[in-house]
Amino acid sequence: MWDEGLQTAILASGFGEHWGLMQLWPLILLPLAVLPWVLQDKLSFSHPALQGLPADPLSVWLERSWKVAASLFILALSMALTGPYLKSQMIEKVGRGAHVMIVLDRSASMNEPFVKKGDVQARLPKMQVARNVLKTLVQQGHDDLMGMVTFSTSPILAAPLGTDRAFVQAALDATEAGGMGFTAVARGLGMALDYFADQPVTGARAIVLVSDGGAHLDGKTQDMLRAMVMRQQASLYWIYLRSENGVSLKQSLGEDENIDAYPEYALHEYFQTLNVPYHMYEAENPEAVLAAVNDISKLKNKPTRYLEPVSRQDLSQYAYAMAWLVTAVLLGLTGLELKRWQT
Amino acid sequence: MAISTHSTADFSAMQSQPARVHAAFEPRQFFYNIHWRSRTYHAGANLTSHHGNGSDFAGFANLLACPDPKRIDIRASVRTVPQQWLVRTYLERAAVRVFAIVDVSSSMLFQGEANMRQQVTEFVTALAWSANRQGDVFGMAAANDDVQSSWQILPTFQTGTAQVVAEKITRYWQSNHAVSGRNASAIPAAIEEIGAQRALVFLISDFYWDTALLQQTLKAAQAHDVIPVVLRDQSATEGMPAFGWARLRDMESGEERSWMLRKHLHQQIGAHLVQQKHMLNSQFMKAGTRSPLWLAPQWQAEEISRHLMETMA
């Protein structure tokens, strides 16, 4: 019966669930807190006759505060030794900014520079340009949630959607290894959209697609992607890194041109039919990429509400602070105390 | 007298010594007198009510009733009608019984500025010595919660009683130095053991008693000539530190008290002490004892004598 009562008490207090103790053995020191109430006659002077002599309210309070302080001192130190902590918790935070999923093309064509001729500065690979610019995007907007998916033939999750910037930066650094394979845009987008699926809609969602080319999507894939985008309410930004000889999406195709020969153009047209905010930045050089990213980073929209995990919190500092406080009280009282009765 | 020189020499020696219990016997004699008549027949220095060979004139008696021709008073005889021989009669002088009743409750073990136990030893020893010197009977009893048999001295004329007293008391102190929680509740019983015959009783205590015990004691001592000897340590009440916080514990009741000593509290305690002293005095007066003798740490036999003479009536 006692065990049951104890268990319910422990459960009700949330022990193990919300908080815990690093060590249990200092708990056996807790009963020492009765010492100040028991050991009195060791500390007091003998007096032949106190009966009838006046009792002083101030003195009574001094005595009480001494006892309480000494008890608290022992309790606080014992508690500090047990090392109480709050377990990791989710804290709701209100952030301003967007949920941004970066979808980065890592196909082999990304290793090529924008132009074939020119100086070294101009012939940086597109991937490196994109990486540098995206890094500045990641650095800005501290309240944004960010994530990254890279794709070539198949998508790879580089960093899940979250507040951890270092994660995304590291994922960007990891793209220094050269790209390879084809451009499977649909699967990359699908994966990025999947990460929105777990999250409550607490802010604007944006997908930043960085790629230098498109791919043909068959009808089924198109429908699926459309449905997903609609469901997640994500706006789409496409930074199109146009090669020197690539097609420009800004100009409409001529009558005689076959749209199937230009997958980028087909993709652009498809994106426009998605019924979500869509914007395409065509970048022929590093400066244009930077301009596009700056544009996206200005996306300041409704406040974002999200839960942030807080690592477990050590509570023993409060116990130590308490011990310090009562030590001050005890020191004061000790200073006031008479060391010997006779003058 | 040899005794007085001896006592002053010892007295100065005692002052230089640290206060501790020791068995050194210091003869100090003080004098007491009584205003009532002793009923004992042992020759002594005190008035009696029975006729005998004393020097106190009692009256005249017929020669036939008191056949002592050397005390025939011719002048008184001539004035008698019809003529008869009158003889002067005298009262005898006899010894009285002197008792020391000592309170050995825990509060008497208080270690203050003066050594209370040493004072008790000195005073009782001096009393035994004085009674012995004046040819009176000396008896002693002590009590806390029980009557202490180790203190018991049955009324005796024996010379050397003072030495025995000093030894007994010292031995007692050495074996019982820090017993707390003992009251003086057996004091009335110790007084009752004296017996019904009137005696001179020195009641030695700090009189930190409750009223009930005091009344009971005084009632038990009603038949006797009681001299309360009050022994109180100054540092317990008057000579307290001026400022500071102290925790105190009553040696008898174990009561705890916290005192933040300061001017205000000193005044309160002082007022209480005055009131307590008044109360004690008035209760002694109501009970018909002699006025109490407040024994100072460095008491002198002359002061004791003076007090006893002055408060004789």
- In chain A, residues with a C-beta closer than 8 Å to the C-beta of B240 are 341, 343
Nearest residue of chain A to residue B242 (CA atoms): A343
Q: How many domains does chain B have?
A: 2
* Whether B159 and B86 share a structural domain: no
Residue B77 and residue B121: Cα distance in Å, rounded?
A: 56
Q: Nearest-CA distance from A71 to chain B in Å?
A: 17
Cβ separation B241–A341 shorter than 8 A = yes
**Whether residue B216 is found in the same domain as residue B244:** yes
Which positions 82-121 of B are in contact with A (Cβ < 8 Å)? 107-108, 110-113
Residues B296 and B208 occupy one common structural domain? yes
Shared-domain flag, residues B83 and B105? no
Contact A43 B254 (CB under 8 A): no
Pair (B81, B213) in one structural domain: no
Clarify whether residues B51 and B17 are in a common domain: no
How many contacts (CB atoms, under 8 Å) link A and B? 115
Yes or no, beta carbons of A59 and B248 under 8 Å apart = no
CATH number belonging to domain A93-251+259-307: 3.40.50.410
Q: Does A53 touch chain B (CB under 8 A)?
A: yes
SS3 for chain A, per residue? CHHHHHHHHHHHHCECCCEEECCCHHHHHHHHHHHHHHCHHHHCEEECCCCCCCCCHHHHHHHHHHHHHHHHHHHHHHHHHHCEEECCEEEEEEECCCEEEEEEECCHHHHCECCCCCCCCCCCEHHHHHHHHHHHHHHCCCCCEEEEEEECCCEEEEEEEECCHHHHHHHHHHCCCCCCCCCCHHHHHHHHHHHHHCCCCCCCEEEEEEECCCCCCCHHHHHHHHHHHHHHCEEEEEEEECCCCCCCCCCCCCCCCCHHHCHHHHHHHHHHCCCCCEEEEEECCHHHHHHHHHHHHCCCCCCEEEEEEECCEECHHHHHHHHHHHHHHHHHHHHHECCCCCC
Q: At what angle do helices A57-82 and A316-336 cross, to 10 degrees?
A: 150
Q: Which two tokens stand for residue A284?
A: 């022929």
A56 interaction partners in chain B (CB closer than 8 Å): 258-260, 265, 268
Q: Is residue B39 part of a domain?
A: no
Higher pLDDT, B103 or B8: B103
Domain map (residue ranges) of chain A: 2-39+65-88+314-336, 93-251+259-307
pLDDT digits (tens, 9 = 90+) for B70-104: 999 999 999 999 999 999 999 999 999 999 999 99
pLDDT score at B285: 92
Is B172 in the same domain as B301? yes
**Stretch B275-280: mean pLDDT:** 92
CB contact under 8 A, B241 and A342: yes
Over residues A99-104, mean pLDDT: 84
Output the pLDDT for position B13.
38
Task: Tell me if chain A has a CB within 8 Å of the CB of B177.
Answer: no
Q: Which residues of B touch A43 (CB under 8 A)?
A: 247
φ, ψ for residue A135, nearest 5 deg: -60, -45
pLDDT of B14: 39
Quote the longest CA-to-CA distance of chain B.
Answer: 88
* Res A328 pLDDT > 90: yes
Residues B156 and B283 in one domain: yes
Q: Are residues B199 and B268 in the same domain?
A: yes
The whole-number pLDDT of residue B103 equals 93
Answer yes or no: do B213 and B186 share one domain.
yes
B113 and A40 within 8 Å at the Cβ level: the answer is no
Task: Report which of residues A240 and A76 the model is more confident about.
Answer: A76
Answer yes or no: is pLDDT of A155 > 60: yes
B40 part of a folded domain: no
Q: Which residues of chain B make contact with A47, given a CB cutoff of 8 A?
A: 110, 236, 248-251, 257
Cβ separation B260–A58 shorter than 8 A: yes
Residue B7 clears pLDDT 50, i.e. is over it: no
Do A162 and A140 form a contact (C-beta atoms < 8 A)?
no
Q: Decide if pLDDT at A36 tops 50.
A: yes
Q: What is the mean pLDDT of chain A?
A: 80
Reply yes or no on whether the pLDDT at B141 is more than 90.
yes
Assess whether B52 and B113 both reside in one domain: no
- Local structure of residue B275 (DSSP, 8 states): H
Containing structural domain, residue B78: 46-93
pTM: 0.64
Establish if A49 touches chain B: CB-CB under 8 angstroms.
Answer: yes
Residue of A nearest to B268 (CA): A54
Which residue of B257, B263, B269, B280 is the best one to mutate when testing the A interface, meaning the one whose CB has the most A CBs within 10 A?
B257
Question: Cβ(B240)–Cβ(B140) under 8 Å?
Answer: no
Examine residue B218 and state whether it is found in any structural domain, yes or no.
yes
Q: Confidence class of residue B286 from pLDDT cuts 50, 70 and 90?
A: very high
Let me know if residue B41 belongs to a domain.
Answer: no
Poorest-confidence range of A13-27, A60-74, B40-54, B93-107? A13-27
Q: What is the ipTM of this complex?
A: 0.71
- Whether residues B117 and B190 share a domain: the answer is yes
- B268 contacts A56 by C-beta, under 8 angstroms: yes
**B15 pLDDT above the threshold of 50:** no
Residue B193 burial (10 A CB sphere; 0-12, 13-18, 19+): middle
